[in-house]
A and B are shown apart, each in its own frame.
Chain A
Amino acid sequence: MKGITKFVIADILKNRIILFYALILGVFSWSIFSLEDNTSKGIMSLLNIILLTVPLVSIIFSNIYMYNSAEFIELLVSQPVKRSAIWTSLFIGLAVALNVSFLVGIGIPVLLFVPFMTGMTVIITGMMITTIFVSIAMLCSILMRDKARGIGLSIMLWLFLSLIYDGLVLFFMFQYADYPIEKPMAIFSALNPIDLARIQVLLQVDVAALMGYTGAIFKKMFGTMTGYLVSLILMLLWIVIPFLISIKLFNKKDL
């Protein structure tokens, strides 16, 4: 398994898209921090970019890579390698490669410009989001045999989680504004990894005005530390559950 993982990582890091991704993230973060004097505001702008681009690139890249690895997977399955080892190697390979580009692009400038604790929160959150969307992409690739459909499903999921979901939550909030809806709202945001990521950073930065409705509820319900831990655990579940489902499906797949 070690050999396969190493091969996958080397193969992805050679890919020009990954280099370009790191470069673009780097340009974003360096320009934000050089233009903005207030680090809190800088973090907020960066957070919005991270929450929009990182999931998109992670899910699309991983999805396409999975489809392009069909031959690789087929070759390995005919050899004495456990199917779960193949799948896990691909997951680790994708997650490591995408996280490395994220660290190069965002991690370095954030550590230079932002106070250490806040910076680490942003970095950990970004890494979690990257890994979550690799996991979701792998699930999409196993659910859809057809490449075009699989990529379509990935784009739909990204669109849903990063844009449509918030719209629905807002709609729900206005519709039921007269009722005590704090708890359902907190649950709703806990179901979306992108909302979780936002809350996690906002709890750390403590810009109450920017926290938004769900963030404020989270803070009220859990307090800063517990809120942080709860959202961290929920994000870990977002990595583990789609991955376990996909590995189960892959073990039964006909090649």
Chain B
Amino acid sequence: MIELNNISKSFGNTHALKNVSMHLKAGKCFGLIGPNACGKTTIIKSILNMVVPSAGNILFDGKSIKGDVSYKNHIGYMPQIGRYPENMSIKQVIDMIRDIRAYQGIEDKELYDAFGIDQFGDKKMRTLSGGTTQKVSATLALLFNPPVLILDEPTAGLDPISSELLRYKIIKERENGKLILITSHLLSELDDLLTDIIFMQEAEVLFNKSVGTLFEETGEERISKAVSKLLKIKRA
């Protein structure tokens, strides 16, 4: 569904991505993990064309995303730190996005209702706490029933209950056959969420495996342990 071919990007002298290629298929949930500053967010932003890669191309459903914006209708994106116009209220932001997307189908209001967005819909974005902003981001990402979900650190800043709600929703969407791409530092949160793991280090993909293979190779049953064991094997 989404294909990255030899993507490179540098910001000044630092290489954010070096020759990264990956193939993301529908019905799977990919976990993009790795240490800080390894290029996870840059990959996500490249897919959304918020960062323009210096080399390589990205295909969405077989078509290059260069010069196209309509493919973003099929993506729900939840940023790591949601930045919204400060003097707009939550409802205004949602209405504006609704207006832009002109989505014809039935809106998926599950998270909207679960998070109780209606209760504080009139609050201005600048008065919101980090967690509430995350709730708005998650709601917006899922509202228009997109076949692709890109979630950058989705549970960071959310309280345990909301975090569980979101996890539950992600699993449900995965079972609906959507393509999901998640980044996270907290590997323990990713168990029973992921089907595939892409591990990045220093702007490169170290490995890209299904969770099943990973468990088989390492003999572990938890993602966090399996990943650290595999890294040890690789280093040795």
Residues of A within 8 A of B (CB): 3-4, 7, 11, 68-72, 74-82, 252-255
CA distance A72 to B72 in the complex (A): 17
Contacts of B72 in A (CB 8 A): 78-80
- In the bound complex, do residue B85 and residue A77 qualify as a contact, i.e. CB atoms below 8 Å apart? no
8 tightest A-B CB contacts, nearest first: A80-B72, A71-B83, A72-B85, A254-B51, A255-B50, A3-B99, A80-B73, A80-B69
Q: Which residues of A contact B157 (CB under 8 A)?
A: none
Closest CB in chain B relative to A78 CB, distance in Å: 5
The reply on B49 being an interface residue by CB < 8 A is yes
Docked-complex contact A78 and B100, CB < 8 angstroms: no
* Contact assessment for B48 and A77 in the assembled complex, using a CB-CB cutoff below 8 Å: yes
Roughly how many angstroms separate A255 CA and B100 CA in the complex, as a whole number? 20
Mark B167-202 against chain A: 1 for CB-CB distance below 8 A, else 0: 000000000000000000000000000000000000
Confirm or deny: B222 has a beta carbon within 8 angstroms of a beta carbon on chain A: no
Residues of chain A with a CB closer than 8 A to B99's CB: 3
Inter-chain CA distance A252–B49, complex, in Å, is 10
Contacts of A74 in B (CB 8 A): 50, 83
Q: How far is the CA of A78 from the CA of B50 in the complex (A)?
A: 7
A123 to chain B, nearest CB (A): 31
Contact of A71 among B45, B85, B97 (CB under 8 A): B85
Interface centre among B45, B51, B84, B85 (most CB of A within 10 A): B85
Question: Does more than half of chain A's interface fall in helix, strand or loop, or is it mixed?
Answer: helix
* A71, A77, A78 pick with most chain B CB within 10 angstroms: A78
* Whole-angstrom CA separation of A75 from B101 in the bound complex: 13
Q: Give the A-B pair count, Cβ closer than 8 A.
A: 57
Q: Which residues of A contact B11 (CB under 8 A)?
A: 254
Query: How many Å lie between the Cα of A69 and that of B84 in the bound state?
Result: 9
Q: How far is the CA of A7 from the CA of B92 in the complex (A)?
A: 10
Chain A residues with CB below 8 A from B69, complex form: 80-82
B231 at the interface (CB under 8 A from A): no
CB distance from B93 to the nearest CB of A (A): 8
Residues of A within 8 A of B51 (CB): 254-255
**What's the minimum C-beta distance from B15 to chain A, rounded to whole angstroms?**
14
Q: Are A3 and B85 in contact (CB under 8 A)?
A: no
Q: Show 16 A/B contacts (Cβ-Cβ < 8 Å), sorted by A.
A: A3-B96, A3-B99, A3-B100, A4-B96, A11-B87, A71-B86, A72-B84, A72-B85, A74-B50, A77-B50, A78-B50, A79-B97, A80-B72, A254-B50, A254-B52, A255-B45
Interface set, chain B 125-183, CB cutoff 8 A to A: none
Which residue of B is nearest A79, CB measured? B100
Question: Contact between A7 and B79 (Cβ–Cβ < 8 Å)?
Answer: no
Please report which residues of chain B, range 47-105, place their CB below 8 angstroms from some CB of chain A when the two chains form the complex: 48-52, 69-73, 77, 79, 83-87, 93, 96-97, 99-101
In whole angstroms, how far apart are the Cα atoms of A76 and B48 in the complex? 11
Q: Are A70 and B83 in contact (CB under 8 A)?
A: yes
Return chain B residues, CB-CB under 8 Å to A81: 69, 100
Could you tell me if B77 and A80 are in contact, using CB atoms closer than 8 angstroms?
no
Using CB atoms, name the residue of chain B closest to A85.
Answer: B69
Q: Which residues of A contact B85 (CB under 8 A)?
A: 11, 69, 71-72, 75
> Shortest Cβ distance from A98 into chain B, in angstroms?
19
